[in-house]
Structure 1
């Protein structure tokens, strides 16, 4: 009972650390370079890693404190000792018990226990060998039979492959003899990569309808590749076609869910009360509002199938920069804030060559590691990227480019605002208002700070 308690206490701490990441077993296992079933067995208390390295990677990814890492190492030592006691007790068991131990080692990535050495019988005397027949040979152990069967299967596969190559060579020789005008050199086939799969970089002067291929809304312009069906090879062996991922971009994201500025060329009496963040898109469209000083873009990226798509890089493209937009700045917040700072990519739109730089997030107790490229996504493992772009001096129009690769193909998708560039304008020197209470107790737009 004590043995089981040691293993369960170690597994319980692993589960608590995993719970902080809000990730599935499959997603977390890929980040830790571990098999999904192996991680699940560790967290369920069904297995204990023989090496502390995978446990240390899990602790680092989950931002465990130094005290938690010490406790994790202590519990791991107790759990390993407990499992060793169980194996020692089962070492004298039947062959099925040994088979179960081997199966567990294969699933958890631990080395398979060496089979017990068979005792070598003592040589019989000459008189005994002449007087009695030799005993029948003992049947081979199960693990030797398995290796013999595996070797036989490999040999058969090699023979079949050689036979196919021989037949193919004979067919080509006969074709060459039948067609005297055919070339004697090796034949080349058409490239397997589909049209447009190479990385493309749309210029700033290209029209938004031709360059945008996002899936941010039903009215968004999409490239033909985005509407293509799945990305896996067909039954006839044809190469994969179409864009292997889909994305959705939302630029109406506020700091902490409540902090944001819009530049509107209207007087305060003409501007309606501020909306909640969920209604910001329609409210800003009706007011002709421009993002003031900051634009936060939340990008949801997901593969179209279980095949992994590697996100290679995220680039910023400036379309134009000019003088700040005219009007007044209207603040959506009242000094709100929160304890959670999401991880993001920060962009300085005033720089000569803006770069999306990864930035760690944080909650009240832990650091949330930033996203670093390359990064893998699939249909079962989507990812949300947050871009925080700011300007203090310009009215900037810009968009993003996301490079991807999958199954030997690569490409680039343009991420923009429904087929148009994102737009962010400085609020420096502009009148700024927030929705507060005037001297008569009425709610209206008042100068910021009053």
Structure 2
């Protein structure tokens, strides 16, 4: 209680008399004590709310973190013929149009994975420089697809009635052989393999250990 409030209370006691003063002083002191309790409680609540970190509201749809594709994918070239391309600093040997790319897809877990589709992605095209054929013995592919790289967008076509989607399991992998075609171009490319597994979706990138595939075709090559 302040000095002014105490002086006012003393004047009031003299003016009203002892009995009424006792009654009024009890009321005033009780109200003052109650107000002090309320103020203290509010201060405690404010300090507690300031000390607690704010929490973000929960999202309506929980986000499922995808750790990575549940697939093991490997690629291997099956080449019968090459082209030796002359460059400014030497020559470059590139698989000739008609070569195969064998792709083996296996699961890395117990769940089956649905392979929804496979998309070729061309990274670069350029007119073919001076080139000459170089022969090399290759092998036949396992499951054949034809990849037309000079079309825009590039086209992947199954040889025969069987095409995507395919299912791979721990006991039943798939092996794909892609026959790459280019005409009058040097094309660098990769594959995007779209998959579905246990409610998740993703894309597995297929290349040669981090480097793109390269395919060169003379004018008229198919």
Please report the TM-score for the alignment, with normalisation by the length of structure 2. Answer: 0.64
CA distance in 2, matches of 1:393, 1:306: 45
Indicate how the Cα distance of structure 1 residues 320 and 188 shifts in structure 2: closer, same or farther if over 3 A, else same.
closer
Matched, 1:347 2:142: no
Matched, 1:422 2:213: yes
Q: Is the 8 A contact 1:325 1:426 kept in 2?
A: no
Q: Deviations over 1:208-255 (max 9, x none)?
A: xxxxxxxxxxxxxxxxxxxxxxxxxxxxxxxxx33211111002x03x
Residue of 242, 247, 258 corresponding to 2:68: 242
Written as runs of structure 1 = structure 2, the 5 A alignment for 1:318-337 is 318-332=122-136
Q: CA deviation at 1:299?
A: 0.4
Indicate how the Cα distance of structure 1 residues 423 and 187 shifts in structure 2: closer, same or farther if over 3 A, else same.
closer
Cα RMSD (Å) of the superposition? 3.2
CA distance in 2, matches of 1:341, 1:418: 20
Matched, 1:193 2:58: no
Q: CA deviation at 1:191?
A: 2.8
Query: Moved runs in structure 1, 4+ residues, more than 2 A?
Result: 186-192, 340-343
Written as runs of structure 1 = structure 2, the 5 A alignment for 1:367-378 is 370=162, 372-378=163-169
Residue of 183, 203, 208 corresponding to 1:412: 203
User: Quick check: which has more Rg, 1 or 2?
Assistant: 2
Taking CA–CA contacts closer than 8 Å with sequence separation of 6 or more, which of the two structures ends up with the larger relative contact order? Answer: 2
Indicate how the Cα distance of structure 1 residues 291 and 314 shifts in structure 2: closer, same or farther if over 3 A, else same.
same
Describe the SS at the equivalent of 1:356: strand
Q: CA deviation at 1:322?
A: 0.7
CA distance in 1, matches of 2:215, 2:141: 22
Count of paired positions: 164
Unaligned runs of 5+ in 2: 1-48, 50-56
Residue of 246, 250, 263 corresponding to 2:83: 263
Q: CA deviation at 1:295?
A: 3.2
Residue of 170, 174, 180 corresponding to 1:383: 174
Unaligned runs of 5+ in 1: 1-178, 180-185, 198-240, 255-259, 267-286, 361-368, 430-450
Compare the two structures and name the one with the higher helix fraction: 1
Q: Is the 8 A contact 1:298 1:384 kept in 2?
A: yes
Q: Is the 8 A contact 2:102 2:142 kept in 1?
A: no
Written as runs of structure 1 = structure 2, the 5 A alignment for 1:95-244 is 188=59, 191-194=62-65, 197=66, 241-244=67-70
Compare the two structures and name the one with the higher strand fraction: 2
Q: Deviations over 1:179-206 (max 9, x none)?
A: 9xxxxxx954773421xx4xxxxxxxxx
